[in-house]
Chain A
Amino acid sequence: MGKPDDIQQSEKQTEAIRFIQHTSDHSLLLQCLIKIQEAYLHIPADTVELLQQQLGLSYADINVVVEFYSFLSFEKSGDYQILISNNITDQFLGNQTLFKKLNSRLADVNVSIEYTSCTGLCDQGPAILVNGWAINRVDDERIEHIAELIEQRLPVDQWPSHFFEKEDNILRRDIQLSVECQPGAAIKTAIQQGREQSLETLEAAGLKGRGGAGFSTASKWRFCAQTEAGQRYVVCNADEGEPGTFKDRVLLNQYAHDVFEGMTVCAAVIGATRGLVYLRGEYRYLLPQLQQVLQQRRDDGLLGAHILGEDLAFDIDIHLGAGAYICGEESALIESLEGKRGIPRIRPPFPVVSGYLGQPTVVNNVESFWSVSRIMLLGADWFAGVGTDASKGTRLLSISGDCRDPGIYEFPFGVTVTEILAACGGEQTQAIQMAGAAGTTVLARDFERRMCHEDLATGGSFMVIGRQRNLLDMLANFSNFFTHESCGFCTPCRVGTQLIDDIICCFKQGQGSTSELQQLNDIAKLMQQNSFCGLGSSAPTAFLNALQQSPELFSAHGPLDDNPQFDLTAAVAEYEQLVATLSGDLR
């Protein structure tokens, strides 16, 4: 049974090596490493040498990139590598039991089983990745089936296709999801309107970046267009790493044309000829179908040298990520696109002035580009007609956690938490987490708060936490997540995430103290004010929320005397035992 596996692997390996042999651009280092990892399930030493020769890089240049990304590794951890998604919603769905079951069922096979950060299948979890392939709803039946396939040593790409089917679960459509766009129509409008008027349309629509920061899309494009440069770039941020966010996955699955259309409109407006999509490694399975859509657009004259027969040249490449939350930050994303570690850059200069390869670059979220294609077609008034004063239009929410109908919901800005919960069937709700692990915790007493930039801003994640849950478990999940995902560049975030994780662990074990509570507050505030980038400054939000809104959470889980982290009985247990043994011996 081992035979087909070997042949398949070696074909993949040959293909990976051939790809490297035809590459000399060192900005493709990460893409090369991803191909090697896929083919060999690790990065063998001889491929590092080959990469050094081909790309003109040092050993350290390659080493630091491999060590940075979670999905790359110098050691082969198993013939099958299973990663279990560890968002708090996956935890609600029993991923810890899943971990135990997989471990005991596959104890005799060469398999590695580990946790990974949210894989974006929270509405259909618990989810896993097997050798990079995403599988949803892993129940007992699936565990058994997966175990059998692994025991047969069948390569994952030959597993029955039903394993890899995903659900889109679009459960509420508002103005944007209820229209269909004809490929090319928005580009045509943009060409007819011209640059200035297209920008005015976007401005009048009031579109703000859907990644969460909420910067005006029109202003961003205008800054980029105004910067003198030989080349400009359009980058689509499809890194969607914020825990509990999965609306970009659905857009890329069902609306890829519209996303690429929005990117092409941007290219026409800012004068770019090249676009890049940064697709998170967890969504690797979408790559073939996305490439198919790109090819179709080339065939239809919607990408290429003369788009729609006009003097407009633009094409799009897709780069993969390899497991790094920080790469959702736009300057870290650009570093990663250039094949490097995802370390945020000093800003200013902002990417619109100096971005990819030092050239002016627009980085927008998947949903922003998707909305652009609609706004160009249906006009600013159509879009700005809903929403609030400072937050126009609608946005997509990825809803998961303790509710009846998790999935994708389109809501106009200004909607209250109560209304959202009513729509998704969230009952007996203790709290919701808006905007992911880095977002705001809203307790039941504040459910009249509204989703909009003026109140609860969001990148699209909405997690429902039922009354049966312990919020401290959520905080522990988040502190663990940030410790794993901090890039380690600046002191407050690198050290602060570890210290917060230690403190939350203490409270979970009932060992927290008053002084630690004070430290938690100090560290969180320090990170918020003083970190180098947005990851570090937003990471402590949930902890600060908990300290302010629900201090009883901590008092219920610690002695809270000033006896930091110290369990005297446990600490002297070994000593007591030794004394007992020794005195027994002496007697």
Chain B
Amino acid sequence: MASIQIDDKSIDFQPGQSIIQAASNAGVYIPHLCYHPEFTAHGSCRVCMVEVNGRQVSACTTEAQDGMQISHMSDDLQQTRKQVLEMLFAEGNHVCPSCEKSGACTLQSVAEYCGMLTAEFTFQYPQREIDASHEDFILDKNRCINCELCVRASRDIDGKSVFAIAGRGGQAQLIVNAVDGQLGSTDFSVQDRAASVCPVGSILPKHYGFVTPIGQRSFDLKPIEQQQVSGHEG
């Protein structure tokens, strides 16, 4: 069987698998945000960087090749990941202490895993909208990290294409498919896959909040590196 070497570990893989798929199957966690085993690889967050032949590549978009030597946990790579995460924190408005998603937030957990303590880059404090027009959901764009998981889930699984990214550069932002721009004007519903895929607190259910106390939430109980392997993800 074909195999790759991640740091000191030899891992078998099926032809056609990406590095991150092969690693995940073997129980090796490579931190990531826009990758999700249910959806096609995206390659946009740049957190899952690993080193192959002296070059940094994203593990989600790079196919595993027999005999590939992959560096994963080097200081350089953790530093790279940390900087990318700091960029995401500096770009949006992330206020963990008051966020309903705290403790169950992938961004927060990945940051913790990568050793990020604070974002040292200049905070951009963008003015972003909170859309509470939907009966069952709040869409808070302040926390959106442009991973497009909701875009892909709604398009590829729900067949609705409720979400999209509009604009360019720093203006690139999540929009919904409605002339008035309101989530309440779309056919988005609780049953949608897109309703439960958001890795941060951008798509939040209404009617209840802080039911699970902080300290007992998903990543509080079991760290992300033990949860997001072997194809299991929220």
Q: How far is the CB of A69 from chain B (nearest CB, A)?
A: 8
Among A483, A490, A522, A531, contact of B170 (Cβ-Cβ < 8 Å): A483
CB–CB B41/A530 < 8 A: no
Taking CB atoms, residues of chain B closer than 8 Å to A530 are: 46, 49, 56, 80, 84
Whether A499 lies near B87 (C-beta < 8 A) is: yes
Q: Within the assembled complex, what's the spacing in Å between the Cα atoms of A523 and B87?
A: 9
B117 at the interface (CB under 8 A from A): no
**Closest B residue, CB atoms, query A502:** B122
For chain A, residues 468 to 494, give those with C-beta under 8 angstroms from any C-beta of chain B: 483-492, 494
Question: Please, how many angstroms separate the alpha-carbon atoms of A227 and B88 in the complex?
Answer: 40
A193 CB-CB contact with B under 8 Å: no
From B47, B80, B90, B172, contact of A489 by CB (8 A): B172
Which one of B41, B46, B124 lies within 8 Å of A492 (CB-CB)? B46
**By the criterion CB–CB under 8 Å, are A488 and B46 in contact?**
no
Cβ distance B215 to chain A, nearest Cβ, rounded Å: 30
Given the interface contacts A60-B175, A529-B56, does A491 sit within 8 Å of B164 by beta carbon?
no
CA distance A491 to B111 in the complex (A): 15
Q: Is A63 an interface residue (CB 8 A)?
A: yes
CA distance A531 to B43 in the complex (A): 10
B179 at the interface (CB under 8 A from A): yes
Q: Which residue of the partner chain, among A61, A348, A494, A497, contacts B164 with CB atoms under 8 Å? A: A61
B83 within 8 A of A: yes
The reply to whether B80 and A526 form a contact with Cβ atoms under 8 Å apart is: yes
* A59 at the B interface (CB under 8 A): yes
Contact B169 A490 (CB under 8 A): no
Question: Which B residue sits closest to A484, measured CB to CB?
Answer: B169
Which residues of chain B are within 8 angstroms of A7 by Cβ–Cβ distance? none
- A23 interface residue per 8 A CB criterion: no
Residues of A within 8 A of B88 (CB): 491, 495
Q: Are B44 and A532 in contact (CB under 8 A)?
A: yes
Interface contact B83-A522, CB-CB below 8 Å:
yes
B170 near A495: Cβ-Cβ < 8 Å:
yes
Picked from B42, B47, B61, B91, the residue with its CB within 8 Å of the CB of A494 is B91
Q: Which residues of B contact A498 (CB under 8 A)?
A: 91, 124, 169-170
Check if B135 is an interface residue, CB within 8 A of chain A. Answer: no
Interface assignment of A519: CB less than 8 Å from any CB of chain B: yes
- B97 on the A face (CB < 8 A): no
- Expressed in whole angstroms, the Cα–Cα distance for A497 and B91 within the complex equals 11
B165-181 interface bits toward A, Cβ cutoff 8 Å, 1 = contact, 0 = none: 11111111001111100
Closest A residue by C-beta to B60:
A346
B220 adjacent to chain A (CB < 8 Å): no
CB distance from A416 to the nearest CB of B (A): 31
| A324 interface contact, C-beta 8 A | yes
- Tell me whether A526 and B84 are in contact in the complex, defined as CB-CB below 8 angstroms, given that A60-B161, A346-B61 are known contacts: yes
**Measured between alpha carbons, how far is A346 from B41 in the docked complex, in Å?**
9
Is A112 engaged at the interface, CB distance under 8 Å to the other chain?
no
Name the 10 nearest CB pairs between A and B, nearest first.
A488-B172, A60-B177, A495-B87, A486-B169, A67-B166, A60-B164, A64-B166, A488-B169, A498-B170, A495-B91
* A490-B45, A490-B46 known, 8 other contacts, Cβ within 8 Å: A58-B177, A64-B164, A324-B168, A486-B169, A489-B44, A492-B46, A495-B91, A530-B49
